[in-house]
Amino acid sequence: MTAAKTQSVPALERALTILEMLAKSKRGLAISEIVRNLQLPKSTAHTILITLERRGYLHRNEQTHRYLFGLKFFSLANMVLSANELRDQAAPMLRSLMGACGLTVHLAILDQRDVVLVDKVDPPGLIKLATWIGKRMDPHCTGVGKALIAYLPEAELDLLVAEHRLPRHNEETIVSVRKLKAQLAEIRRLGFALDDEEDEVGLRCIGCPVFDGTGKVVAAVSISGTVSQITAENLSALAHKVKRTASSISQHLGFL
């Protein structure tokens, strides 16, 4: 079925229309204005507004009773802008890493409790990894994910684990908090993370953190390949190349 023939979700259409109306309003909108302009039942408008408010996308002014954009929108906008800027700066170095290793290269960020791929460079050939820009992955069993969370403050890491849990993908997946923390400490010591078939059987991934000018981890770079492409014999050499690329991107972001 083509996208043109697929039905839209009416409630989502109404919610998006409300958000577009709010974007054009400098003072926000009262529910009566939304009901009048969209000719919606008041109960329908109220349900949509309450849902958006609970999720942090809207804020209701207690004095004027008008709805305004919430902080969630600003957070998302900043994340998108930062990801685009980061991707633009990192792109030449990601392509160079792919050329040096001949493996798929990913750039990822941490969004809430998920790893999100913001760029991907595939090596030449017909066989491609089943990943794409925008894909969300678990942090505890991926190279980029472990590189991202290894430097989190302990309280933030504990909250992430409590909310996300440690879902098992296969027999190699770490599902113990104690073992995960021990591995994260090792990642900080070595400077790189290894996904050794923990996410998907037959695949390995080497990930390294990217730091900004304040010393905060803002992204991670990785290379991914099969167990025959990333082996015990070439692991150290490949990890060195990923670390060098991550370091170069970090320097472009002001990290000394």
**pLDDT at 99 (0 to 100):** 96
Would residue 52 count as lying in a domain? yes
Question: Does the pLDDT of residue 1 top 50, yes or no?
Answer: no
**pLDDT at 84 (0 to 100):** 73
Q: Report, as an integer, the average pLDDT of 187-208.
A: 97
83 or 28: which carries more pLDDT confidence? 28
Q: Select from 69, 88, 107 the last residue of a domain.
A: 69
Tell me: do 183 and 151 sit in the same domain: yes
Q: Report, as an integer, the average pLDDT of 60-87.
A: 77
Nearby residues of 181 by Cβ (< 8 Å), 6 or more positions away = 157
Tell me: do 123 and 25 sit in the same domain: no
What CATH number is associated with residue 63?
1.10.10.10
Confidence bin at 82 (pLDDT 50/70/90): low
Mean pLDDT of the chain: 90
Would residue 4 count as lying in a domain? no
Tokens (6 digits) for 72: 């969630």
Would residue 146 count as lying in a domain? yes
Tell me: do 87 and 167 sit in the same domain: yes
Tell me: do 105 and 228 sit in the same domain: yes
Would residue 62 count as lying in a domain? yes
Tell me: do 186 and 85 sit in the same domain: yes
Would residue 2 count as lying in a domain? no
Question: Does the pLDDT of residue 207 top 90, yes or no?
Answer: yes
Tokens (6 digits) for 43: 């109960």
Tell me: do 81 and 65 sit in the same domain: no
Question: Does the pLDDT of residue 2 top 60, yes or no?
Answer: no
Would residue 41 count as lying in a domain? yes
User: pLDDT tens, 227-250?
Assistant: 999 999 999 999 999 999 999 999
Confidence bin at 80 (pLDDT 50/70/90): low
Confidence bin at 62 (pLDDT 50/70/90): confident
Tell me: do 128 and 239 sit in the same domain: yes
Would residue 123 count as lying in a domain? yes
What CATH number is associated with residue 188?
3.30.450.40
29-34: long-range contacts (C-beta < 8 A, 24 or more apart)?
Answer: 29/66, 29/67, 30/64, 30/65, 30/66, 30/67, 31/65, 31/67, 34/67
Confidence bin at 159 (pLDDT 50/70/90): very high
Tell me: do 113 and 165 sit in the same domain: yes
Would residue 5 count as lying in a domain? no
Count of structural domains within the chain: 2
Q: Select from 47, 69, 91 the last residue of a domain.
A: 69
Q: Please give the share of the chain, as a percent, with pLDDT higher than 90.
A: 66
What CA–CA distance (Å, rounded) separates 22 from 212? 34
Tell me: do 61 and 23 sit in the same domain: yes
Tell me: do 175 and 231 sit in the same domain: yes
The lowest-confidence range among 73-77, 169-173, 189-193 is: 73-77
- Residue 62 lies in domain: 10-69
Q: Select from 69, 96, 113 the last residue of a domain.
A: 69
Q: In this structure, what DSSP letter does residue 7 have?
A: P
Tell me: do 129 and 169 sit in the same domain: yes
Q: Report, as an integer, the average pLDDT of 215-222.
A: 95
Tell me: do 156 and 212 sit in the same domain: yes
**pLDDT at 81 (0 to 100):** 53
